């Protein structure tokens, strides 16, 4: 190959466009350097550096790089930067900051190495950004594997607990299975698209747009439909959607609380980001297959998540199963977005409201949790509102938003998704979703009831773990997030305009 | 003509080595022997790749699978000192699985025998993919540079994870 050709190829590698991911990666490396350089007693600074550094990156992303409607393709078609990728960058940075904040509270109760946790969280967040930006199956798979392998480590992080080990093993096996399903689907799609006997065959079958064009020309190919089903199955594992939600309760319970938060919010959102970018380029060519499959998944996920959560007394299992049901609501929005463009905005708004509400709930969980992280029972919350009104209020706002109680952000998120589903004429799914919401209010209020209306005199004998006091800067952050949850319920304009409905 | 006979002969040899190695890996009770049979099987597959002119694949198979993965298997087998066979439930399960696999193979062969003529595309219309080491390397350092860099981060965080998980708590 001539040197000029090489130069032409290399000129597509616009590294500067990926500066948020690169600076997250560099920050992650800097933490490791700090761990070596700093004396052992001042290691607490490292987590502060991690959080502050990410906040600075978030500030730059928010204010210094304005999101344009233009779509730019860089790295020879591996990465496509759009408005949505900008939104998801903000989302994953926020999620990463929140998880680091929870980790500061939660890891302080444990005796595990701490710096590596922040490092891996940041690397995984950067990989999640790349995942939703990628427009090429190879890039998407590499980013997804970086996410998954980082999460294997984070799930089994508190190695000394038997439940954590069980969770780590289950997540490892399930994650490997889902990756192999996804890879098999990708290989089938790539192989079919390169078949010279078919119309429009292409060598660049890994590229979303080229693959979509090929599938449009061959709308009923058997192998391609098998490939598409396998790809959906692989992504459904990440989202925790039926019938691939089996791992959720055990893994969520066993994983350390910050990891559970990361799995519940960022990993789920990464799955949805990948699904959305595939949905509108590749999968919609096979809408005769994809729409019924995803609709069934949405309905079954909502029903399973909500009914299984009804009987849980461990709050981590409860929040995991409620997360499954949230995946179902989001899938409803994804299916609706096939015909209604407004549904896309609804899905992103839902993701943001879910992020804020989950953060509030997980923060309270991190403060209430006993030293044995996996055993967080509903009974630990008895009398929380009386002993610590601040945490009680935060919990009530978070759970209320998750349940979709007006006037909180979660209500508007559900409302917009349902509105989109109504406009897309998906009446039967809408009916299922409303049943799901009604059921979900029952178990969310069981939790709130434990915190607010049950007095601790009833079980004075039961040992309750000591709760961590909330430091002033966490108080400030929680209050801000709670206000944002409340504010977004009243006024979606800022976010709504930004999401461009 | 001579070359065709030679190619056929080599194919037969490599295919036999592959199949015998695979059967040995499945049937041998001793786990070390099973791993060794897997090694033989992989060698046979590599030979088949060479016959298809896929030199890089053959090389990678030997280097990565035979060299690293099977060596890792052997380490773990010797470390754990596994003896004896699997329990009853697993035995039943593997019987069912192998019966299913046999049924699939028979179905495949039957389908092939019934319509034995595969569609042959016009060779000119088949787009050629680079298969030499050089063309792979050029792709890795130009078009796919970003995934390669990301894999670097993947390996780093995996290594850190192993260290963090295996370290004694402070």
CATH number of the domain within which B28 lies: 1.20.120.1200
In a domain, B123, yes or no: no
- The SS3 call for residue A446 is helix
Residue B160 and residue B80 share a domain: no
pLDDT of residue B121: 65
Whether B39 and B104 map to the same domain: the answer is yes
In angstroms, the CA A402 to CA A404 distance is 5
Of B145, B150, B165, the CB nearest to A153: B165
Polymer length in residues for chain A:
501
Tell if the CB–CB gap between A196 and B153 is shorter than 8 Å.
no
Report phi then psi at B78, rounded to 5.
-70, -35
Closest CB from A13, A111, A113 relative to B146: A13
Strands (E), A62-219: 72-74, 79-81
Q: Residue B30 falls within a domain, yes or no?
A: yes
- Measured between beta carbons, which residues in chain B are less than 8 angstroms from residue A9? 142-143
Buried b / exposed e over B25-38, threshold 16 CB at 10 Å, is beeeeebeebbbbb
Of A75, A113, A146, the CB nearest to B154: A146
pLDDT in tens, B56-110: 888 889 999 888 888 888 888 888 776 655 555 567 787 888 899 899 999 988 8
Q: Are A331 and A303 in contact (CB under 8 A)?
A: no
Q: Are A113 and B138 in contact (CB < 8 Å)? A: no
B153 in a structural domain: yes
Same-domain status, B14 and B51: yes
pLDDT at A461: 46
Count of structural domains within chain B = 2
Contacts of B150 in chain A (CB under 8 A): 127, 130, 139, 142-143, 146
Please indicate if any CB of chain A lies within 8 Å of the CB of B146.
yes
Tens-place pLDDT, residues B112-161: 888 767 666 666 655 555 556 777 788 888 888 899 999 999 999 899 88
**Shared domain check, B95 and B169:** no
List of chain A residues whose C-beta atoms are within 8 Å of the C-beta of residue B157: 119-120, 123-124, 146, 149-150, 153
pLDDT bucket at A499, cuts 50 / 70 / 90:
low
Closest chain A residue to the Cα of B168, Cα to Cα: A112
Q: Is B115 domain-assigned?
A: no
Same domain, yes or no: B89 and B146: no
- Looking at B93, B108, B123, the residue that finishes a domain is B108
Range A418-421, long-range pairs (CB < 8 A, 24+ positions)? A418/A332, A419/A342, A419/A346, A420/A333, A420/A336, A420/A337, A420/A340, A420/A342, A420/A343, A420/A346, A421/A332, A421/A333, A421/A335, A421/A336, A421/A343
Distance CA A398, CA A419 (A): 23
Asked if residue B138 and residue B98 are part of one domain, the reply reads no
Which residue in chain B has the smallest CA separation from A138?
A: B147
B92 is a domain residue? yes
Q: Are A187 and A164 in contact (CB under 8 A)?
A: no
Average confidence (pLDDT) over A223-239: 92
- Checking if the pLDDT of A501 tops 60, the result is no
Query: Could you tell me if B100 and B139 lie in one domain?
Result: no
Could you say which of B127, B142, B163 has the minimum Cβ distance to residue A203? B127
Does the beta carbon of B147 lie under 8 angstroms from any beta carbon of chain A? yes
Flag if B160 and A159 touch (Cβ within 8 Å). Answer: no
Q: Are A295 and A261 in contact (CB under 8 A)?
A: no
CB-based contact, B142 to chain A, within 8 Å? yes
**Chain B residue nearest residue A120, CA to CA:** B157
- What's the DSSP call for residue B65? I
Place of tokens 């595939």: A278
Are residues B84 and B152 located together in one domain of the fold? no
pLDDT in tens, B9-25: 999 999 999 999 999 98
| Buried/exposed code over B102-136 (b: 16+ C-beta within 10 A; e: otherwise) | eeeeeeeeeeeeeeeeeeeeeeeeeeeeeeeeeee
Percentage of residues of chain A with pLDDT beyond 90: 45
Q: pLDDT confidence of A73, banded at 50, 70, 90?
A: confident
Q: What distance in Å separates residue A120's CA from the closest CA in chain B? A: 6
pTM of the predicted model as reported, rounded to 2 decimal places: 0.87
Say if residue B104 is in the same domain as residue B20: yes
Predicted complex ipTM exceeds 0.90: no
Q: Give me the domain span that covers residue B43.
A: 1-108
Is residue B127 less than 8 Å (CB to CB) from chain A? yes
Residue A498, pLDDT > 70, answer no
pLDDT at residue A164 greater than cutoff 80: yes
Q: What is the pLDDT of residues A10-55, one digit of tens each?
A: 677 788 888 899 999 999 999 999 988 888 887 888 888 999 999 9
Q: Is the dihedral of CA A216, A222, A225, A230 positive or negative?
A: negative
Q: Among residues of chain A, what percentage have pLDDT more than 70?
A: 93
Same domain, B92 and B137: no
- Give the pLDDT score at B111: 83
B158 in contact with A, Cβ within 8 Å: yes
B167 CB near a chain A CB, below 8 Å?
yes
Query: Residue A423 in contact with residue A336, Cβ under 8 Å?
Result: yes
- pLDDT at residue B125 in the model: 58
Look over chain A and give the mean of its residue pLDDT values, rounded to a whole number.
87
Residues comprising chain B, all counted: 170
For residue B43, being part of any structural domain is answered with yes
Q: Do B90 and B147 fall into the same domain?
A: no
What is the CB neighbour count within 10 angstroms for residue A292? 11
A329 close to A304: Cβ distance less than 8 angstroms: no
Residue-wise pLDDT for A253-312, tens only, equals 999 999 999 999 999 999 999 999 999 888 888 889 999 999 999 999 999 999 999 888
Is the minimum CB–CB distance between B153 and chain A shorter than 8 Å?
yes
């Amino acid at each position: 190959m001539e040197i000029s050709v090489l130069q032409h190829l290399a000129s597509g590698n616009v590294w500067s466009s990926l500066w948020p991911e690169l600076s997250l990666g560099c920050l992650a490396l800097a933490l490791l350097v700090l761990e070596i350089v700093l004396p052992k007693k001042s290691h607490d600074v490292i987590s502060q550096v991690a959080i502050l550094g990410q906040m600075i990156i978030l500030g730059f992303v928010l204010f210094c790089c304005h999101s344009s409607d233009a779509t730019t393709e860089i790295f020879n078609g591996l990465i496509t930067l759009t408005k949505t990728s900008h939104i998801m960058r903000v989302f994953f940075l926020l999620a990463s900051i929140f998880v680091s904040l929870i980790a500061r509270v939660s890891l302080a109760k444990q005796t595990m190495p701490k710096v590596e946790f922040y490092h891996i969280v940041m690397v995984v967040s950067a990989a999640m950004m790349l995942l939703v930006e990628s427009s090429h199956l190879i890039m998407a798979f590499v980013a997804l594997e970086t996410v998954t392998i980082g999460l294997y480590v984070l799930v089994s992080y508190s190695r000394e607990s038997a439940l954590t080990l069980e969770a780590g093993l289950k997540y490892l096996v399930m994650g490997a299975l889902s990756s192999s399903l996804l890879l098999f689907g990708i290989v089938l799609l790539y192989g079919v698209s390169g078949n010279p006997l078919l119309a429009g065959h292409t060598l660049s079958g890994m590229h979303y747009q080229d693959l979509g064009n090929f599938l449009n020309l061959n709308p009923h190919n058997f192998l391609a439909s098998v490939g598409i089903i396998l790809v959906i199955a692989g992504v459904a594992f990440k989202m925790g959607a039926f019938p691939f939600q089996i791992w959720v309760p055990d893994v969520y319970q066993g994983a350390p609380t910050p990891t559970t938060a990361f799995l519940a919010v960022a990993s789920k959102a990464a799955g949805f980001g990948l699904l959305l970018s595939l949905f509108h380029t590749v999968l919609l060519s096979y809408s005769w297959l994809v729409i019924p499959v995803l609709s069934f998944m949405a309905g079954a996920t909502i029903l399973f998540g909500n009914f299984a959560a009804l009987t849980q007394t461990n709050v981590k299992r409860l929040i995991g199963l409620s997360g499954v049901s949230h995946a179902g609501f989001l899938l409803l929005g994804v299916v609706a977005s096939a015909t209604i463009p407004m549904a896309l905005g609804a899905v992103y708004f839902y993701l943001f409201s879910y992020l804020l509400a989950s953060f509030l709930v997980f923060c309270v969980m991190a403060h209430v949790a006993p030293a044995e992280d996996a055993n967080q029972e509903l009974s630990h919350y008895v009398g929380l509102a009386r002993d610590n009104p601040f945490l009680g209020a935060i919990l009530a706002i978070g759970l209320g938003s998750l349940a979709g109680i007006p006037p909180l952000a979660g209500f508007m998120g559900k409302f917009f998704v349902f509105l989109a589903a109504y406009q897309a004429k998906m009446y039967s799914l809408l009916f299922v979703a409303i049943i799901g919401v009604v059921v979900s209010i029952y178990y969310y209020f069981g939790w709130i009831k434990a915190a607010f209306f049950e007095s601790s005199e009833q079980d004075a004998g039961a040992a309750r773990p000591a709760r961590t006091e909330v430091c002033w800067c966490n108080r400030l952050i929680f209050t801000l997030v709670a206000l944002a949850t409340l504010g977004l319920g009243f006024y979606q304009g800022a976010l709504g305009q930004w999401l461009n409905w | 003509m001579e070359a065709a006979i030679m190619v056929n002969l080599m194919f037969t040899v490599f295919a036999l080595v592959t199949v015998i190695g695979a059967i040995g890996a499945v049937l041998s009770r001793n786990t070390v022997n099973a791993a060794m049979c897997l090694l033989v099987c992989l060698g046979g597959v590599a030979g088949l790749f060479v016959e298809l002119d896929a030199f890089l694949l053959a090389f990678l198979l030997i280097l990565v699978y035979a060299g690293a993965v099977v060596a890792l298997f052997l380490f773990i087998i010797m470390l754990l000192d596994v003896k004896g066979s699997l329990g009853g439930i697993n035995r039943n399960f593997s019987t069912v699985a192998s019966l299913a696999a046999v049924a699939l193979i028979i179905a495949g062969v039957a389908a092939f025998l019934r319509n034995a003529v595969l569609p042959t595309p016009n060779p000119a219309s088949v787009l050629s993919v680079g298969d030499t080491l050089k063309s792979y390397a050029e792709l890795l350092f130009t078009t796919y540079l970003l995934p390669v860099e990301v894999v670097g981060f993947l390996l780093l965080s995996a290594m850190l994870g192993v260290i963090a998980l295996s370290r004694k708590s402070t």
